[in-house]
Chains A and B, each alone.
Chain A
């Protein structure tokens, strides 16, 4: 939508008129569960990863069923085949390869039940470097921008994905651990206080320069991090992947965005039944979900250090808000408990530190940062 702020206006009207938003659970007569879903793209310079899953009822919990034991390959228009192999259930990857840019490619799939699918042939656009990935301090947070351009004016449609990684700590630094075999509290060697957490973007970030006089993207607002976000507490990093897209793929992502990311207001467009570019050869009425494009990805990483951010920004202890005080043992409260009874189950309590007469302790959720990330420092981390 050209003017997404119309939505804000609507909210304003809603406030004026005592409107309200409530959860809604419709009674559905029939559903369209169990449709084949493709996720991924044909990487013309590197490893192609395609994930095959099945759709699910809205109400069902748990992961999406993987489509296993399928035959998956990239095929060029000239007839060359590049097979993919299943490495984990539903995940099919190719070898790292460079596909000639002179021809068009598509994906071919045959499921274990013998149904065949192909995507439309597509040309991979030439990769363009990210000109600039920058973070700017704003009044109440950090805004991340991307710049890129194509002097030849051929790209026009861009999509970005990103992976955020940040350093964080648990609420309490534990220097001790309980050794069950010795029934003793001993020093801890492993650091479970400093960790790193990684998250992939779940929003769709696309833009088009069709209406601009140059094929140039200036200050595309990729992401805004509020000043209170725990991500900014120590050091933050973002890895941005840029894809050049075809117009059809752009339209597909725009439609997906309209359907699932827009706020439902008075003036929102009607949702539509989106079809990607994958078709079932066995039964052309069977809907197939997903869009398989071809692209060469360029990446760029940005680090943001706490020291470069305003001092007055107070970050939250994301995930550790309830970790306020430490328990003490032995104490009046735990009268009659043995050390083994108190520390025996590491799911309940972890020793934090030792005072002259007692131990302090807290739950693993407050002490063990590995529950929210990894204590293995990423290779790219400075």
Chain B
């Protein structure tokens, strides 16, 4: 029901005055005396009512809302300045449903008639008052159910609001917005009050009169306090009420508060503070999620896969924080939509760019600087955001008193660009491009270079209120090359690259209040050039050695249904079926069945023509989860997941390295399969301001790749002879306590977890540790993390980060012996010992400029100290033969407190 005329009239009819305990009738007379408004009400309903309100040139709407908010009275104003005051529900004013003019700020339209008015600019004031309007949605039946759909956007810049919930408190029915800010909610027809909550937005409400299927777009205000307050102000009751388990969602504001070694917000480093996520050590962004290997994480940047998410060998993450909107990590209940990796999905989403005005932001730090620009191309329809980051660390190298460092250089940059274009109400396009490059030159003889290139194009089409679909095409490339010029006769260039092209279609269908169905399919084509060595220079004796290209296609179909069985019980049933085919042209070795694969057990070589399938694997992936609410603020959730992975990273170093190679499954390398069972208990205290959760999981994986001792991974034409299929199991308990609001906030988590590997096949020489389970490289049983923030004032806040974990396993020397004129070392079984425990405390102080919402430029300073106590945490422990003696050394990367200062700006 539109108050269409109201908004225009009110601007000229403002109320001023102070009313203290004034009887209602007297209040009415005063207003009628100074304005054209005329009041209609039942005198008995107001006879004992007194009004206390202060008004200063405010519209009547606001004044009345304030005046009547503590009463049972409701009011409505029509276009003839008539004010109807009633008990309970306000009077419905319009007579015809097609009498509708969209208000300036929001479009409420009746389906199938879509609003053809674009969204004009608006002000925060009108957005706020929208909470009191009654939106009349749809036409038709007065009984049954109807579907309300629409978008949530930020009023300031038109960005979609992701992961916010919109729900009816009375009915306990709700929906959350997807990556485009879209929601779809099926409700009984009639009057509803809808509550909207989300990260970084102000909680708001909408009154709707639902008559039939319809559309309601909602604009939300930025919750400015969270800028320095914190945090996971997020879905306040998502912990308990959400169906998903094992999901961590972080927005960029949260991430900015966590202190880092180089003063720059680091997405992956923040993810590492979450329970269940570990890495082998500092200066390394390889994630080990719930006991999984670093290659078992699907890292998506706007739906394009990123193969190497780091710069400078892992000291920086490769994502510009200014472009990022949010990061979502799925570690147990992985939606059926995602597949291809065993352990987790890390979904990184960029912002859409400001649709209203041109703006920018950036930062200057000791090693890097960054700049981001964004703005409308076509106002309210098309926007862009482009961000770049570059390092200038060479000057430090050149300061070092060493000739070979002076000839060295190390640099990186990354660029992200994103365009979003709204064709019309039903169609939108999103284009993202990403490039990151690293270069190292060492003492003028060896140069390393690696590069990620990604692009994705998404087309969103809304078929109806209940059904919408997204068609995505993406490509990802990762490549590296190493040029060595040390000796003329062996000067060479080693290259590697992997390319991936994927197409996917995802549909979301709201059948009714009880069923939300997602379905779709995807197909990925991989091209891997597993390595090539070429001579560099005319005198080089190196022979050209190029390994044949590997190809494969991975396709999947999925369907999942979220069923709200009862208000207390929700179940999500999902099934994904994936099919992988390794394609020719290729020559494949066959080995004697049952024997260790070595060069001596090759029986024959089979040649496959172009496009011929040389191996096919397929299987179902189950994605099941359930939630049962015990009370309003506690629930139990359980999930079971199966995942399949057809691509493997080969690395025999402890840390993730840019020269690691990815290998596709083929007839000799089977796909990895993982199963995870998890159960959790969730409890919120103090009106959802304190969240508590306990999750426990058991995971088993098979056929993941491990290595024989001294394996050769580079330029190996028969890599299967150097790798073994391992079996893994992991289990653990994750306890987390979060305080969401207040001067002191943050989270503390404790994890007990184990990650074990077994290689028990083939001959005795193939078995590792005699075929028994041994701890994986990242098995760190105890882990405690505390992220605390304290807000001194609106402009000054401090953050403290504390982590403790058990030292990671290592293989230690047990004995020494003398061979070849030197003392040698006899090592223990693999990973039989541990390095000393790890702990570290970091401190950061954020100073903001003044907080006028509207000003030319905002700036802030971040000062931090990384590793406050200067503890020398051993990253690696190793033994070396020095002058014939075996000596043990421990190497710490950040062995002393590291102060940083970064200047950030925003305009």
A interface residues, Cβ below 8 angstroms from B? 2-3, 5-6, 8-10, 12-26, 28, 30-33, 35, 37-39, 53-58, 64, 161, 200-204, 211-214, 216, 218-219, 221, 251, 253-256, 258-261, 263-275, 287, 289-290
Contact = CB atoms under 8 A, between A and B. Distances in A.
A5 B541 contact: no
Contacts of A275: 765
Given A25-B888, A37-B819, A266 B895 contact: no
A216 to B, nearest CB: 7
B530 to A, nearest CB: 15
B542 A211 contact: yes
Given A211-B542, A266-B876, A268-B878, A35 B826 contact: yes
B895 A19 contact: yes
B655 to A, nearest CB: 5
Given A18-B894, A23-B889, A259-B825, 18 more contacts: A2-B714, A3-B446, A9-B448, A12-B405, A13-B410, A22-B890, A28-B814, A56-B817, A57-B815, A58-B825, A64-B818, A202-B821, A204-B822, A218-B489, A260-B822, A270-B830, A271-B811, A289-B824
6 nearest interchain CB pairs?
A264-B878, A272-B709, A202-B822, A24-B890, A55-B817, A20-B895
A260 B881 contact: yes
Given A28-B814, A55-B816, A258-B710, A15 B400 contact: yes
Given A211-B543, A264-B880, A267-B653, A204 B820 contact: yes
B815 A219 contact: no
B829 interface: yes
Nearest to A274: B709
Contact of B894 (A12, A19, A24, A25): A19
B891 interface: yes
Contact of A5 (B393, B484, B714, B890): B484
A213 B492 CA distance: 13
Given A12-B405, A273-B828, A17 B543 contact: no
Contacts of A35: 815, 817, 826
B397 interface: yes
Nearest to B878: A264
Given A18-B895, A28-B814, A260 B879 contact: yes
A206 to B, nearest CB: 11
Contacts of B545: 211
B312 interface: yes
Interface of B: 261, 281, 283-284, 312-315, 393, 396-397, 400, 404-405, 408, 410, 440, 442-443, 445-446, 448, 482, 484, 486-490, 494, 533, 541-543, 545, 652-655, 657, 659, 709-710, 714-715, 765, 777, 811-822, 824-830, 833, 872, 874-881, 884, 886-896, 898
Contacts of A213: 541-543
Nearest to A202: B822
A64 B818 CA distance: 7
Contact of B812 (A28, A64, A255, A263): A28
Given A8-B443, A13-B313, A18-B894, A274 B710 contact: yes
A156 to B, nearest CB: 13
Contact of B813 (A21, A58, A267): A58
B817 A260 contact: no
B877 A289 contact: no
B707 to A, nearest CB: 8
A287 B715 CA distance: 31
B828 to A, nearest CB: 7
B655 A267 contact: yes
Given A37-B819, A266-B283, A256 B824 contact: yes
Most chain A CB atoms below 10 A, which of B393, B533, B821:
B821
B313 A266 contact: yes
Contacts of A26: 812, 833, 877, 888
B814 A32 contact: yes
A287 B828 CA distance: 12
Contact of A24 (B313, B405, B542, B889): B889
Given A9-B448, A37-B818, A260-B881, A18 B482 contact: no
Given A14-B891, A39-B818, A261-B880, A216 B541 contact: yes
A271 to B, nearest CB: 5
B891 A21 contact: yes
